Amino acid sequence: MKRYSAFAIAREALRGHKGWERAWASPEPRERYDVIVVGGGGHGLATAYYLGKNHGITNVAVLEKGWIGGGNTGRNTTIIRSNYLQDASAAIYEKARALYETLSQELNYNIMFSPRGVMMLAQTHHEVRGYQRTAHANALQGVATEYVGPERVKELCPIISIDGPRYPVLGALWQARGGTARHDAVAWGYARACSDMGMHIVQNCEVTAVRSSNGQVTGVETTKGPIQCDKLALVVAGHSGRLAEMAGFRLPVESVALQAMVSEPIKPCMDVVVMANTVHGYMSQSDKGEMVIGGGADGFNNYTQRGSFHHIEETVRALIETFPMLSRLKMLRQWGGIVDMTGDRSPIIGKTPLGGCFINCGWGTGGFKAIPGGGWATAETVAKGEPGPLAAAFSLDRFREGRFIDESVAAGVAH
Ligand code: FAD
Ligand code: PYC
């Protein structure tokens, strides 16, 4: 595949942009692959990429029922941070954050990583204690965060009103190297790199059944016909319960809609990301100038991938005391994604009861930030047949053994 560069842009400008290649090939599926990854979101594509890059396994297909990145990966609010409490979480989220720093160069694809800083506001005394505790835990884990006071919050984000009558800002957990990236570029960049290694990215190919013999996976049925494989990785986020059912086991996950919206574009007024978890809202400003806003998850299980009017009102009402400027803004569009929620708000990565079948799911409201780390850990588990150090704590067994990795505070989104 031809490299993207400033020189290539200049060359194509001079010849009417006729020389650009398709970013990835769109082949019909083969009869058999060493590994099939179901799900062309960030985690599925990153799993395929690290299978090739780290383990030399390239006879791989990624099967996607819609279009690449059309699930949660292209629907999130793009927040990247690694300020979690438990050691296992800090390890995988920080690995992901660190990989994001150089992902554009590695993939030769501009994912627009912007380490502009992420702030989680403390607006109750309970949150002050919680975030101070996380800052101490992060110091021990080698994750660079700090607890800052209200004056520093105001300095970092002047549009915040720190002395609101109901929920004054008491401080914040600040991660200076957290930030955002362009979400669909992450999917496209991985897809292009996978295609370059000879892997097949097959869109419009829904998996409808999982085939097995003597407790071992043998392949899948799809809308493009049956395909055989030695190993299968299920990486389908909100549809994980459905795929697990096809493979003959149950998962401790619930699927709910999480919604977000953007305002009309305005001049630059906010160059950090702010999460206000007590009132359930978070906000950043996109490069186009829109305010990117999200709130809590819907309070009922469903598979409806769209937004609803009550959500706009609830979320803007929640944020308006802290961001009074919102009262003058028009909202432009809204949408929803189906996220997969575990009881401890931590992901599941590892083996399943079906031999040769692996799973990566349960990222809930916070898996965009984890894509490079989740893909890295899932690829290692698939390649070796056993989880490596990053994935080990996140096995499905933990729910049977009571080894929960409680991240309900760090998840930051009300559910
Ligand atoms: P997905 O991107 O959903 O990919 C799974 C893919 O599987 C989909 O493309 C789907 O079409 C495909 N699929 C499903 N069933 C089948 C089948 N039978 N056959 C073939 N393919 C199938 N996380 C953050 O870290 N920061 C945020 O700021 C953030 N904000 C969010 C805001 C919203 C509104 C939403 C909805 C989510 C947010 N998240 C955030 C969560 C994050 O988007 C997800 O955790 C993450 O994208 C999951 O990635 P994935 O690759 O596992 O899933
Ligand atoms: O995990 O940081 C996050 C997040 C923010 C909004 C949705 N998820």
Nearest of 33, 30, 63, 27 to residue 217 by alpha carbon: 33
Per-residue model confidence (pLDDT) at position 415: 61
323 neighbors 283 (Cβ within 8 angstroms): yes
Taking the CA of 178 as reference, the closest ligand is: 2
Nearest bound ligand to CA 233? 1
Residue 411 has pLDDT above 90, yes or no: no
Question: Higher-confidence residue: 413 or 158?
Answer: 158
Residue 262 has pLDDT above 90, yes or no: yes
Rg value, the chain, Cα: 21
Ligand 2 atom with the shortest distance to the CA of 367: 1
Q: Which atom of ligand 2 is nearest to the CA of 411?
A: 1
Pairing state between β 216-222 and 32-38: unpaired
Mean pLDDT of the chain: 96
- DSSP conformation letters of 297-330: EEEEE----S--HHHHHHHHHHHHTT-GGGGGPP
Quote the crossing angle between the two packed helices 87-101 and 371-384, to the nearest 10°.
110
- Write down the pLDDT at residue 1: 86
What is the third-level CATH fold of 25-78+183-252+344-411?
Answer: FAD/NAD(P)-binding domain (3.50.50)
Closest listed residue to residue 69, CA positions, set 45, 37, 101, 38: 45
Q: Give the position, in ligand 1's atom list, of the atom nearest the Cα of 45.
A: 51
pLDDT of 413 > 90? The answer is no
Residue 142, CB-side half-sphere exposure with 13 Å CA sphere? 8
Q: Residue 176 forms beta bridges with which residues?
A: none
| pLDDT score of 387 | 98
CA distance 343 to 303: 18
Convert the pLDDT of each residue in 154-178 to its tens digit. 999 999 999 988 999 999 999 999 9
Instruction: Give the helix, strand, coil percentages of the chain, each rounded to 5.
Output: 30, 25, 40
* Spatial separation of the C-alpha atoms in residues 108 and 399, rounded to whole Å: 40
Site residues for ligand 2, CB cut-off 6 Å: 77, 79, 81, 282, 294, 365-366, 412-413
Looking at CATH, the fold of the domain delimited by 116-177+255-342 is given as D-Amino Acid Oxidase; Chain A, domain 2 (3.30.9)
Contact 293, 253 (CB under 8 A): no
Q: Which of 3-7, 294-298, 354-358 has the lowest mean pLDDT?
A: 294-298
Cα distance from N-terminal residue to C-terminal residue, the chain: 43
What sign results for the dihedral spanned by CA atoms 82, 84, 87, 93? negative
Atom of ligand 2 nearest to the CA of 81: 2
Residue with CA nearest ligand 2 atom 2:
79
Residue 6's contacts (CB-CB under 8 Å, 6 or more residues apart) are none
pLDDT at 214 over 90: yes
pLDDT, mean of residues 84-88: 98
Number of other CB atoms surrounding residue 219 within 10 Å: 20
Q: What confidence category does residue 255 fall into, taking pLDDT thresholds of 50, 70 and 90? A: very high
Three-class DSSP category at 125: helix
Q: Report CA-CA distances (Å) from 107 to 3, 179, 202.
A: 10, 19, 20
CA dihedral 125, 130, 136, 140 (to 10 degrees): 180
Tell how many helices (H) and how many strands (E) occur in the chain: 11, 18
| Cβ atoms within 10 Å of 310's Cβ, excluding its own | 10
Tokens for 245, please give them.
Answer: 């059912």
Q: Is the CA virtual torsion 182, 188, 194, 196 positive or negative? A: negative
Residue identified by tokens 């803007």 is: 316
Domains of the chain, by residue range, sit at: 25-78+183-252+344-411, 116-177+255-342
Ligand 1 cavity residues, CB under 6 Å: 38-44, 63-66, 70-73, 75-79, 206-207, 235-237, 239, 243, 258-260, 294, 337, 339, 363, 365-369
Closest CA to 1 of 25, 26, 29, 34: 25
How far apart are the CA of 388 and the centre of ligand 2, in A? Answer: 26
Of all ligands present, the nearest one to the C-alpha of 410 is 2
Rounded mean pLDDT, 40-46: 98
Tell me which residue has tokens 């082949």.
27
Strand partners, 30: none
For position 165, what pLDDT does the model report?
A: 87
* 314 CA → ligand 1 middle, Å: 23
Q: How many residues belong to the chain?
A: 415
Mean pLDDT of 94-99: 98
Distances in Å between the Cα of 76 and the Cα atoms of 13, 92, 252 are: 33, 19, 23
For 281-335, what is each residue's pLDDT tens digit? 999 999 999 999 998 888 899 998 888 888 899 999 989 999 999 999 999 999 9
Say how far apart CA 323 and CA 93 lie, in whole Å: 29
Residue 412 has what pLDDT?
A: 73
Q: Please, are residues 38 and 243 in contact by the beta-carbon 8 Å criterion? A: yes
> Lowest-confidence range among 216-225, 304-313, 344-353?
304-313
Segment 192-216 shows an average pLDDT of 98
Taking the C-alpha atoms of residue 264 and residue 356, their distance in angstroms, rounded to an integer, is 48
Per-residue pLDDT tens over the stretch 222-252: 999 999 999 999 999 999 999 999 999 999 9
Cα–Cα distance measured from residue 376 to residue 169, given in angstroms and rounded to the nearest whole number: 37
Whole-number Å distance, alpha carbon 264 to ligand 2 midpoint, is: 21
Burial class (CB in 10 A: 0-12, 13-18, 19+), 330: exposed
Q: If you take atom 3 of ligand 2, which residue's CA is the nearest one?
A: 366
Is the pLDDT at 72 greater than 70? The verdict is yes
